[in-house]
Structure 1
Amino acid sequence: MADLPGIVVTGVSGRMGQQLARMIAADDRMRLAGALERPGNDWEGRDLGACLGGAENGVIVGSDPAAAFAGAQAVIDFTSPAATVGFAEAAAAAGIVHVVGTTGMSPEQIAAVDAAGARTVVVRAGNMSLGVNLLVTLVRQVAAALDGAWDIEVIEAHHRHKVDAPSGTALMLGQAAAEGRGVALDEMAERGRDGITGARGAGAIGFSAIRGGDIVGEHDVLFATEGEQIRLSHRATDRSLFARGALTAALWGLSQPPGAYDMLDVLGLPKGK
Structure 2
Amino acid sequence: MPDGLGPGVPRLGVVGRGRLGGALLDVCRTEGVPVVLTADRGTGWKVSETPDVLVDASSPDAHDDVLAYCTARRVPLVACVSNLTGGQWTALEELSQAVPVVRATNLSFAHHLQLSLTEFLAGLVTGAAQPSSTGVRERHPVGKAHRPSATAVTLAETWAKASGRQPDDIADERAGLPVSEHELTQSWDGESLHIRHQVGSWSVPARGALAAARWARTAPPGLVTMRNVYEELTARSTP
The question of a shared fold, defined as TM-score above 0.5 by the shorter chain, is answered with yes
Residue in structure 2 matched with residue 31 of structure 1 by the alignment: 34
The residue aligned with 2:23 is 19
Q: Could you tell me whether the CA contact under 8 Å between 1:84 and 1:100 is conserved in 2?
A: no
Question: Larger Rg: 1 or 2?
Answer: 1
Instruction: Tell me by how many angstroms 1:86 deviates.
Output: 4.0
- Quick one: distance in 2 between partners of 1:88 and 1:150? 45
Of residues 208, 227, 230 in structure 2, which corresponds to 1:264? 227
Which of 156, 162, 172 is the aligned partner of 1:180? 162
Q: Does 1:224 align with 2:227?
A: no
On the 8 A contact 2:108/2:204 being kept in 1, the answer is yes
1:142 shift after superposition: 1.6
1:267 counterpart SS class: helix
What is the DSSP-based 3-state SS (H/G/I as helix, E as strand, rest coil) of the residue aligned with 2:184?
A: strand
Instruction: Say how many residue pairs are matched.
Output: 222
Q: Is 1:207 aligned to 2:211, yes or no?
A: no
How much has 1:248 moved relative to structure 2? 0.5
Give the C-alpha shift of residue 91 in structure 1: 1.2
In structure 2, C-alpha distance between the alignment counterparts of 1:213 and 1:263, rounded to whole Å: 26
Is 1:236 equivalent to 2:184 in the alignment?
no
CA deviations on 1:225-255 (whole Å, 9 max, x unpaired) are: 3333221001111110000000000001111
Measure the CA separation in 2 of the matches of 1:69 and 1:125.
26
- Cα distance in 2, alignment partners of residues 166 and 131 from structure 1: 20
TM-aligned CA distance change 1:248 to 1:225, over 3 Å:
same
Q: Aligned partners of 1:208 and 1:96: how far apart in 2?
A: 38
Pick aligned residue for 1:158 from 137, 140, 147: 140
Larger CA deviation: 216-225 vs 174-183: 174-183
Residue segments in structure 2 that go unaligned for 5+ positions in a row: 1-7, 233-239
Cα drift, residue 77 of structure 1: 1.2
Change (3 A) 1:91 1:180: same
Q: Distance in 1 between matches of 2:31 and 2:101?
A: 22
CA distance 1:115–1:141, change in 2 (3 Å): farther
Percent identity between the two aligned chains:
27
1:154-196 CA-to-partner distances (Å, cap 9, x unmatched) read 101111111101112111211211211246xxxxxxxxxxxxx
Q: In structure 2, how many angstroms separate the alpha carbons of the residues matched to 1:124 and 1:150?
A: 33
| CA 107–230 in structure 1, closer or farther in 2 if over 3 Å, else same | farther
Counterpart position of 1:121: 100
Q: Secondary structure at the match of 2:105?
A: coil
How much does 1:4 deviate?
5.5
CA separation of 1:116 and 1:156: change in aligned 2, threshold 3 A:
same
| Higher RCO structure (Cα 8 Å, ≥6 apart) | 2
Q: Distance in 1 between matches of 2:49 and 2:224?
A: 23
- State the Cα distance separating 1:85 from its structure 2 match: 4.9
